[in-house]
Structure 1
Amino acid sequence: MKTINLISMFFATAAIAQSGGVGINTSTPDPSAILHIENFKGIPATATATISGGAVTGISITNGGSGYTSAPTVNFYGGGSIVNGGTKARATAIVSGGVVTGVTLNNGGTGYTSIPTVAVSGGNKGLLFPSLNITNLSSTTTPVASPANGLIGYNGGTNTNNNALHFFNSTTNQWQSTIDAEDTPKVAYLDFTGSLSILDNAVAGANSLLVVNPPAISGVSNIMGFKVVLNTLSGGYSLILPQGNYLVEVNLNLNSPQEIPAGQGGTAPLTGSTYYLMGYFIDFYSDAFNNTTSVFTPGINSRKEVPIVSKVNTNHLATWSYYYSVPPNANSNIIGGLRLRLGRMQNSTFYDLVNVIPAGSYIKISKL
């Protein structure tokens, strides 16, 4: 009889799980979760948000709750399709005497079209996996005899393997370390789109906006808060990045067609050659961007030059590397807006049109 009850319970739980909203130790499971585990026994706090300009601008506590022994997690749900080009708001709860007394808005996010729901997730416990001493990844006897496929444990022992979660893979008959999210490289890739022809009859020192077409952002980009925004002050598009340090690599596939007529601006091949010095520079402008008001504040620029020797009507690749630092600010909504301009380097011997070819032209950003 007990077996029948257990089976009935299993199928009942499985049926509910398919529609979401299954909770353990919570009477109000998070509707976006299939399984919500809660170990909080007090009265949950509640709060409401206000938005302006697509960002969360304030949070009001409607009930401070009780029984908190540590700061709960504050999450925002709904509010429109912010995943499509927007960013989720972030906030931190303040606890005093077991009660939530305030919420600090760390980042208002972007892209909200309606007021999101504020969820204060109480809980002073986490999910604890068994601590194992996995000295030999190929062992099927120690520390677990005949481990099941998919068994998960934390390698907490003193050995040369990663101190991280491991799972047993019966296909390879080995323990495998899971990915440590903190160690996963944070990168963003942008491919150039559309045609761009600039620097027509331009002398050395002349420059023009580089990112004038909306770039295509790769799906593998995982820098939180990164986006591309139309710069209403300067024109073109700026690369928006949160506070931190970055390596920006610009790779351009360029081509300069034959001049018509020849000799524009003193253009002449190198002595005794059919090659020209087609030198270029990029001015990297470190502007400030208010993530709440979407207002840019112009900043200083840093110039990086690259000499290129090539023939006309021949593709030539140019690469720049730039260390970009977005300094901390008391207002977390003041972040970085990187603007790029391509120009002709001093002492070049070619002064006519250059085409930026989308195929092979891209920008890579690595968070350091």
Structure 2
Amino acid sequence: MKIINFVSTLFATVAFAQSGSVGINTPTPDPSAILHIENFSGTPATATATISGGAVTGITISNGGSGYTAVPTINFFGGGSIVNGGSKARATATISNGQLTGITINNGGSGYTTAPTVTVSGGNKGLLFPNLNIANLSSTTSPVASPANGLIGFNGGTNSNNKALHFFNGTTNTWQSTIDAQNTPKVAYLDFTGSLSALDNAIAGASTQLMVNNPAVSGVSNISGFKVLPNTAGGYSLILPQGNYLVEVNLNLNSPQENPSGQGGTAPLSGSSYYLMGYFIDFINDTYNNTTNTFTGGGATRKEVPIVSKINTNHLATWSYYYTVPANANANIIGGLRLNLGRMQNSTFYDLVNVIPTGSYIKISQL
């Protein structure tokens, strides 16, 4: 059995010619099956990162390398960002005369406990799969006659099927699309931490900060660039890059017996022991400069939710908010969403409410 070491292959100085046809498990390969492996034959650049506050704040180029004919890719590995439910740092490179001359941090990421490893991937190597027009996923004659089980190709033709890698399944005799990372749902989940007692003796229209405790970000969160930061106005803000989002807030609430009774006109609904415990959330659309780490206050959108419940009884309140971070020529001007919890107009209960961490969470979906 012959074992090919792809690591050594990628850094070898030899090159594979792309002329001719390449086939797998067939003596007569289709003419479109071209194996194109380009190698980086220069000297790889090296760099190191520094962190502060869980984010990458600086990158020092140790060796600019040589032989770069295209801008290389900067990547970060390790450092704890994924383990801690954080986000990965992003950066772009500049080259001059074949050398790496600068690295710009586009997003410092979050959750780093140690400095991540910086890798500089040469911009002139890659693997080119056959570019096929897979118009009919059930066809065994076109674009490949009697395709071998496991044959892989990219559907780049003019058709309605996914523009993604496909492989031929010899059991079902169909072409199947592989996972397209761009179409993978991008979500973030945040659990509330600590206790919050709010709106004590508060009249209708009064509000207070909702995220006074740093929420716990789930490890399955995968929105690139998302993080939670303390806001200079108090509390914590949801930091999101330019784009469109659905923000869903779910709060597990409980109002104890009021003390003193009748506060602000508190009274149960006529003929019952239930109260209208109405609430609102102000979604405050601040902006955040990812370079200077500064917030700029923005306008608020209010969403009200009427809840009918008894005292000392848990009641669930939910809100949905479509949040847009507008495009900006400066990619570092992004969103900093703040949340305030308040008492809705026409409520019949005007005393304390407790936000219970268990069962309270925020879900963000990138649209």
Correspondence for 1:207? 207
Correspondence for 2:261? 262
Residues in 2 aligned to 1:222 and 1:89: alpha-carbon distance in whole angstroms: 13
Correspondence for 1:129? 129
Residues in 2 aligned to 1:126 and 1:49: alpha-carbon distance in whole angstroms: 26
Local SS of the residue matching 1:127: strand
CA apart distance, 1:342: 0.8
Q: Is 1:198 aligned to residue 201 of structure 2?
A: no
Correspondence for 1:25? 10
Residues in 1 aligned to 2:52 and 2:96: alpha-carbon distance in whole angstroms: 29
CA apart distance, 1:261: 5.0
Correspondence for 2:309? 311
**CA offsets 1:4-31 (integer angstroms, 9 cap, x no match):** xxx3x42xx5xxx6xxx83213059xxx
Q: Which amino acid aligns with 2:157?
A: G
Residues in 2 aligned to 1:309 and 1:225: alpha-carbon distance in whole angstroms: 35
- In the alignment, structure 1 segments of 5+ residues that lack a partner are 1-6, 29-36
Q: Which amino acid aligns with 1:143?
A: P
CA apart distance, 1:365: 1.2
**CA offsets 1:144-202 (integer angstroms, 9 cap, x no match):** 45544433211223333222211233454432112222233322122335554432322
Question: What are the within-5 Å matches in structure 2 for residues 147-158 of structure 1?
Answer: 147-158=147-158
* Matched-pair identity in %: 74
**CA offsets 1:238-286 (integer angstroms, 9 cap, x no match):** 3232343333221223343444553222112345565433221112233
> Is the contact between residue 278 and residue 349 of structure 1 (CA under 8 Å) also seen in structure 2?
yes
C-alpha distance 230-55 of structure 1, shift in aligned 2 (>3 A): closer
> Is the contact between residue 308 and residue 316 of structure 1 (CA under 8 Å) also seen in structure 2?
no
Correspondence for 2:295? 297
> Is the contact between residue 296 and residue 337 of structure 1 (CA under 8 Å) also seen in structure 2?
no
CA apart distance, 1:86: 3.9
Local SS of the residue matching 1:24: helix
Residues in 2 aligned to 1:171 and 1:198: alpha-carbon distance in whole angstroms: 61
> Is the contact between residue 247 and residue 363 of structure 2 (CA under 8 Å) also seen in structure 1?
yes
Residues in 2 aligned to 1:126 and 1:302: alpha-carbon distance in whole angstroms: 47
Correspondence for 1:238? 237
Q: Which amino acid aligns with 2:107?
A: N
> Is the contact between residue 275 and residue 309 of structure 1 (CA under 8 Å) also seen in structure 2?
no
**CA offsets 1:323-354 (integer angstroms, 9 cap, x no match):** 43445677755643322221102232211232
Correspondence for 1:361? 360
C-alpha distance 123-335 of structure 1, shift in aligned 2 (>3 A): closer
Q: Is 1:161 aligned to residue 161 of structure 2?
A: yes
RMSD after superposition: 3.4
C-alpha distance 47-303 of structure 1, shift in aligned 2 (>3 A): closer
Q: Which region of structure 1 is more displaced relative to structure 2, 337-346 or 102-111? A: 102-111
C-alpha distance 159-317 of structure 1, shift in aligned 2 (>3 A): same
Correspondence for 1:277? 276
Correspondence for 1:95? 95
**CA offsets 1:43-81 (integer angstroms, 9 cap, x no match):** 433444455554444444454444333211122345x32
C-alpha distance 325-281 of structure 1, shift in aligned 2 (>3 A): same
> Is the contact between residue 108 and residue 333 of structure 1 (CA under 8 Å) also seen in structure 2?
no
Q: Which amino acid aligns with 2:295?
A: T
Q: Which amino acid aligns with 2:252?
A: N
C-alpha distance 113-316 of structure 1, shift in aligned 2 (>3 A): closer
Local SS of the residue matching 2:161: coil
Local SS of the residue matching 1:23: helix
Residues in 2 aligned to 1:337 and 1:41: alpha-carbon distance in whole angstroms: 44
Residues in 1 aligned to 2:72 and 2:200: alpha-carbon distance in whole angstroms: 59
> Is the contact between residue 232 and residue 295 of structure 2 (CA under 8 Å) also seen in structure 1?
no
> Is the contact between residue 48 and residue 117 of structure 2 (CA under 8 Å) also seen in structure 1?
yes
Residues in 1 aligned to 2:143 and 2:329: alpha-carbon distance in whole angstroms: 49
C-alpha distance 51-363 of structure 1, shift in aligned 2 (>3 A): closer
Residues in 1 aligned to 2:326 and 2:362: alpha-carbon distance in whole angstroms: 22
- In the alignment, structure 2 segments of 5+ residues that lack a partner are 14-36
Aligned length: 342
Q: TM-score, normalised by structure 1?
A: 0.77
CA apart distance, 1:297: 3.4
Residues in 2 aligned to 1:316 and 1:53: alpha-carbon distance in whole angstroms: 37
CA apart distance, 1:206: 2.3
Residues in 1 aligned to 2:331 and 2:159: alpha-carbon distance in whole angstroms: 41
CA apart distance, 1:229: 3.7
Residues in 1 aligned to 2:159 and 2:331: alpha-carbon distance in whole angstroms: 41
Local SS of the residue matching 2:300: strand
Q: TM-score, normalised by structure 2?
A: 0.77
C-alpha distance 229-150 of structure 1, shift in aligned 2 (>3 A): farther
Question: What are the within-5 Å matches in structure 2 for residues 38-187 of structure 1?
Answer: 39-78=39-78, 80-83=79-82, 84-187=84-187
Q: Which amino acid aligns with 2:309?
A: K
C-alpha distance 75-172 of structure 1, shift in aligned 2 (>3 A): same
